Amino acid sequence: MSSDTAALVRAHVSGDRTAVETAEESIAAAEAHAELGAFLSIDRERALERAAALGDALASGTEPGPLHGVPIAFKANMCREGVETNCGSKILAGYRAPYTATAVQRMLTAGCVPIGTTNMDEFAMGSSGENSAYFPARNPWAHERIPGGSSSGSAAAVAAGIVPLALGSDTGGSVRQPAALCGISGFKPTYGRVSRYGLVAFGSSLDQISPLARSAQDLELAMLVLSGSDPLDSTCLDLGPVQPEPEGSLAGLKLGVPREAFADGLDEGVRIRLEEAIAQLCELGAERVDVSLPHARLAVPTYYVVATAEASSNLARYDGVRYGPRVDGDGTLDGMISATREAGFGAEVKRRILLGTYVLSSGYYEAWYGRAQRVRAKILADYRTAFEACDLLVGPTSPTPAFRLGERSEDPVAMYLSDVLTAPVSLAGLPAVSVPAGFVEDAGETLPVGMQITGPALSDARVLSTARAWQAATDHHLARPGTFAERAEA
């Protein structure tokens, strides 16, 4: 069992170390790993000020929060008052949020110290981090490879040991997939468990703020703080926070293995690791049940209709009037809007706005958007049927380990297929965690493999306690980038 954050909080509260020392170390680590491109900005002054204030409050007898002095990194699409929230896009360059997102505020109130804003695919559109308008982030396990996306910087920062905890957002897999490729744990809650107030919208019916950490236990601690109703977000469920289950046990758990998750296109090394992991889960007391999700193969096209439709509407607000830089163009209002959007959005964002506008246009709406909504309902129905035969589903998170920078950037469809195992869960709104399940060797490099555990709606606590039980019995999540190379040298 391991909790980086609980150990830190204990050390701060007992006086073994101060929150300022921890913040200093975290910032030094971020600077030492600058080549990872994990951060769009590091907030040294604010972080140290905040850490000092936490120390003062503790000294004057204020009850410490559950995450007292824990350094955290926020993805650049979460508003924090006064801090640049550019979503990895040029169209929001220099935009400082006038208010703070609910999820961010809850982490701050619990005592977290934000050390910076993390790199991401522009507007969270991507699976590799290469769509960042600034620079791509890199995988701490293999620097010529992608860390996954779109929460690339948050995953790289946790994997490199810069912060023990980070927030990302997951619309079609953007927290689970980078967690898998970076060898850490990432959890997408049931849609509506975490407030989206202050999260810059991409696909509103899919987006969920989601934590990344090195252990399931830390994800549980984060969820306890993050989740719960919020009057500022009408899609946030009127439920209390996700309470960690007292004991995670695998005994008697019926684990469904969807046939489709092991279909063609799955990397052989990933398949072998997952088969081993499932066998081990059974040795630990779980029972394997083979199930089928017949419509899962339609999830990627369905996701790319629904998500782009919602994105085209959500991104209409970036018109050069209300946010960010403005390009005057020919001096007319229309000319200014076109010139601003032409200069401000990157190629992938434009592609999605075009696609989304098309699928919503009159005459095509029923054929594309309407049909995608009907397939989405069938995907959800498949999960309902599967969960009649099992408690949770288990399979790979990503069909391949981390690929090389540039390998898929010229081929959008190859990039979209990275989401084949995570998108169905998002369309169904279900909770799912990705946890480390071992490593594969590729071209002389050791790369992490992730296992996705998915549960029925609102089974967040069960999904996380199962991940905790897996980590209590295994040590994949304890491996750090570099350890294998070091071992080889030893």
Question: Within 10 Å of residue 234's Cβ, how many Cβ atoms?
Answer: 9
150 is known as an active-site residue: yes
What's the CA gap between 207 and 20, in Å, rounded? 33
What's the CA gap between 41 and 263, in Å, rounded? 40
φ/ψ (deg, to 5) at 152: -60, -50
**Which parts of 351-370 interact with ligand GLN (CB under 6 A)?**
none
Q: CB-wise, 299 or 440, nearer to ligand GLN? A: 299
Selected binder of ligand GLN within 173, 211, 324, 448 (CB under 6 A) = 173
Stretch that binds ligand GLN, among 35-43, 120-128, 134-142, 269-277 (CB under 6 A): 120-128
What's the CA gap between 14 and 26, in Å, rounded? 20
List C-alpha distances in Å: 85 to 80, 94, 101, 152, 283. 7, 8, 11, 16, 47
User: DSSP of 170-235, one letter per residue?
Assistant: ESSSTTHHHHHHHTSEEEEPPTTSS--TTBPPSSTTT-EEEEEESSHHHHHHHHHHH-S--TT-TT
Tell me which of 150, 151, 195, 398 is the catalytic residue: 150
Q: Should residue 172 be labelled a site residue for ligand GLN when binding is judged by CB under 6 A? A: yes
CA atoms within 13 A on the CB side of 226: 31
Stretch that binds ligand GLN, among 169-177, 265-273, 281-289, 314-322 (CB under 6 A): 169-177
Stretch that binds ligand GLN, among 16-24, 165-173, 291-299, 392-400 (CB under 6 A): 165-173
Burial class of residue 169 (count of CB atoms within 10 Å of its CB; 0-12, 13-18, 19+): buried
Contact 129/182 with Cβ under 8 angstroms? no
What's the CA gap between 299 and 421, in Å, rounded? 9
128 is known as an active-site residue: no
Tell me which of 75, 312, 398, 409 is the catalytic residue: 75
Q: Should residue 127 be labelled a site residue for ligand GLN when binding is judged by CB under 6 A? A: yes
Residue 153 is given by DSSP the state: H
Tell me which of 127, 154, 174, 195 is the catalytic residue: 174
Q: Cβ of residue 89: shortest distance to ligand GLN, in angstroms?
A: 13
Q: Should residue 142 be labelled a site residue for ligand GLN when binding is judged by CB under 6 A? A: no
Q: Should residue 474 be labelled a site residue for ligand GLN when binding is judged by CB under 6 A? A: no
Selected binder of ligand GLN within 132, 171, 400, 452 (CB under 6 A) = 171
313 is known as an active-site residue: no
Closest CA to 281 of 467, 54, 85: 467
β-pairing verdict for 208-213 and 165-170: antiparallel
Q: Taking CB under 6 A as the rule, which mask of x and - marks residues 145-164 in contact with ligand GLN?
A: -----x--------------
Helix H, strand E, coil C: the string for 51-82 is HHHHHHHHHCCCCCCCCCCCEEEEECCECCCC
Q: Should residue 420 be labelled a site residue for ligand GLN when binding is judged by CB under 6 A? A: no
Stretch that binds ligand GLN, among 33-41, 125-133, 258-266, 478-486 (CB under 6 A): 125-133
Q: Cβ of residue 409: shortest distance to ligand GLN, in angstroms?
A: 12
Q: Which residues pair with 145 in a beta bridge?
A: 404
Q: Taking CB under 6 A as the rule, which mask of x and - marks residues 289-328 in contact with ligand GLN?
A: ------------------x---------------------
Stretch that binds ligand GLN, among 9-17, 68-76, 118-126, 253-261 (CB under 6 A): 118-126
Q: Should residue 466 be labelled a site residue for ligand GLN when binding is judged by CB under 6 A? A: no
Q: Should residue 88 be labelled a site residue for ligand GLN when binding is judged by CB under 6 A? A: no
Q: CB-wise, 164 or 203, nearer to ligand GLN? A: 203
Q: What one-letter code names the amino acid at 226?
A: L
Selected binder of ligand GLN within 130, 233, 310, 419 (CB under 6 A) = 419
Question: Within 10 Å of residue 14's Cβ, how many Cβ atoms?
Answer: 8
Selected binder of ligand GLN within 103, 125, 142, 179 (CB under 6 A) = 125
Task: Summarize as ranges the residues that interact with ligand GLN (CB under 6 A).
Answer: 124-127, 150, 169-174, 202, 307, 419
- By annotation, the residues acting in catalysis are 75, 150, 174
